[in-house]
Amino acid sequence: MPQAGSALLVIFGASGDLTRRKLIPGLYDLTCVGCVPRKFEVLGVGRSPMTTEEFRARMRQGALESSGIRHLDHEQWANFEKRLFYMVGDPGNTDFYRHLGVKLEEMHQAGSSTNHLFYVSTPASVAAPIIEGLGSADLNRNYQGWSRIVLEKPFGRDLESARQLNRTVLRTFDESNIYRIDHYLGKETVQNILVFRFGNSLFEPVWNRNYVDYVEITAAETVGIENRASFYEETGALRDMVANHMLQLVALTAMEPPIAFDADAVREQKVQVFRSIRPMSVEEVARRTVRGQYGPGEINDRAVPGYRQEPGMREKSSTETYVALEFYIDNWRWAGVPFFVRTGKRLARRMTDISVHFKRTPQALFARTPDEEIDPNVITLGIQPDEGITVKFGAKKPAAQMQMAPVQAEFCYRTAFGAATPEAYTTLLLDAMRGDATLFTRGDEVEAEWSIITPIEEAWAQLPPPSFPNYAAGTSGPAEADTLIAGDHRRWRRLEQLVQKAT
């Protein structure tokens, strides 16, 4: 991995979960592999009163619990934690930014970097006041180095609020210094979609409507809402997962080759995909989307409560924890090819993948093969936890008279490359410090995403509410989702039946 330039990272929302579970472990990992320069400090900012020592202890605990870190070396951690500092403050108060400016100056005097990376990891509603506060104290400008801002998702909650947030941040920072996070783009396997498609000449000729029957994208989770009741009630699965992560997977699967692998060229092609997604009328939303909410059930032999029984939840909540949708991309390459996308919480297993299902052969030559064994070709790009690629094709059954059976060729990251892949946040933090925005979303890109999602939310508000709960925890989701995809031999990959290869 390349080394980052020197930086002073200021994290807003430092007492929150993301800092403890992802950001600090990611930075620790970077330090261990020598990617962090000598001049690198973190200033955590939060409302919770805490001393720097308490902050360090809390971060250490978070790192120990984090699944991302493979091994916490006590000596390495002791050296790393000397770079962590904490400042109590209310980011909603404009006076605070003056104090922050003074604190940063003190840190420079003591030898810290003069490059500033502001990481806004707070609820969306606090993002605008933080940006304005930084501007009011002139911290958006930096005469001794650079000044960049990282904005966590969700970027707004609909098209209008995303536009508003874009206007606010663009008044204060130049687009080249704005890093809008979608952590899926930091995943190795997500980046590999582009390498697989555009680094090989074998697949691209068939990656279009002439050969592809349909595309299926799944992001299934076994976790519930993890103590985020109020956030999730405001958000729901469509805004939480589809408006960003799932649409990014659609874009990377469907986009045209960029002219170069750089931030603007890649983002330009993704925006083109979003603009080509066919808008849905209310009637189409009723036909081409399915909402679900989990009821009580069992996951890994453990009884789990339904969504409405989660702590802090409304008894009659109508928030969706599952969505399935059928998108069409109206462009030359994909005309007529449905993209089926689904995501949900408390499903039978954790699995994110993209399956490209190819058309059947024009003639059934090996007619002795029972119908159910003639499976069309499928290329599956495994994002997590099975990181790899499988190609499914037909082979002759040994000894049988010219009969076919489906078989798979597999590539597995771990087997091929040995080392475990870095965590998404580790990659993204390093890129932001290096000034590479390729794996971050551009302003027009997030607005294009919301232009797809907002009409769906609006149509749902007009349609009769579904009767929730409509799937039991630990299953593949609501039965209506099967109807959405059904026809011409199309069906979702059954989550219950898929065997997990890695964890």
**Binding residues for ligand BG6, total number by CB under 6 A:** 4
Map residue 425 onto helix, strand or coil: helix
Kindly provide the residue ranges of all beta strands, DSSP E only, lying in 294-384, ordered along the sequence: 294-295, 297-299, 302-304, 322-328, 338-344, 351-358, 378-384
Query: Closest CB to ligand BG6 among 308 and 392?
Result: 308
The distance of closest approach from Cβ of residue 153 to ligand BG6 in the complex, given in angstroms and rounded to an integer, is 6
Q: Which residue is nearest to ligand BG6 (CB)?
A: 240
Active site residue 245: yes
Helix (H) or strand (E) holding 419: none
Helix (H) or strand (E) holding 214: strand 212-220
Q: Which two tokens stand for residue 279?
A: 């808008």
The distance of closest approach from Cβ of residue 241 to ligand BG6 in the complex, given in angstroms and rounded to an integer, is 6
Query: Closest CB to ligand BG6 among 172 and 248?
Result: 248
The distance of closest approach from Cβ of residue 221 to ligand BG6 in the complex, given in angstroms and rounded to an integer, is 5
Map residue 89 onto helix, strand or coil: coil
Query: Closest CB to ligand BG6 among 352 and 427?
Result: 352
Site for ligand BG6 in 147-186 (CB under 6 A): 153
Dihedrals φ, ψ of 163, to 5°? -60, -45
Q: Which two tokens stand for residue 482?
A: 């099967």
SS (H, E, C) 347-407: ECCCEEEEEEEECCCCCCCCCCCCHHHCCCCEEEEEEECCCEEEEEEEEECCCCCCCEEEE
Contacts of 435 (CB under 8 A, 6+ apart): 5, 146, 148
Q: Which two tokens stand for residue 52?
A: 């720097």
Q: Which of 116, 183, 245, 357 is catalytic?
A: 245
Query: Closest CB to ligand BG6 among 232 and 334?
Result: 232
With binding defined as CB under 6 A, does residue 240 bind ligand BG6?
A: yes
336/456 Cα distance (integer angstroms): 20
DSSP single-letter state for residue 476: S
Query: Closest CB to ligand BG6 among 139 and 190?
Result: 190
The distance of closest approach from Cβ of residue 442 to ligand BG6 in the complex, given in angstroms and rounded to an integer, is 19
Query: Closest CB to ligand BG6 among 13 and 338?
Result: 13
119, 10 contact by CB (below 8 A): yes
282/287 Cα distance (integer angstroms): 9
List the alpha helices (DSSP H) in 419-467. Answer: 424-434, 443-462
The distance of closest approach from Cβ of residue 240 to ligand BG6 in the complex, given in angstroms and rounded to an integer, is 5
* Binding-site member from 221, 326, 353, 445 for ligand BG6 (CB under 6 A): 221
Residue type, 284: E
Site for ligand BG6 in 425-454 (CB under 6 A): none
Dihedrals φ, ψ of 82, to 5°? -65, -15
User: Alpha carbon of 28 to those of 19, 20, 77, 82, 434: distances in Å?
Assistant: 12, 11, 7, 12, 17
Query: Closest CB to ligand BG6 among 240 and 326?
Result: 240
473/22 Cα distance (integer angstroms): 27
Residues at the interface with ligand BG6 (CB under 6 A): 153, 221, 240, 352
| Catalytic machinery residues | 245
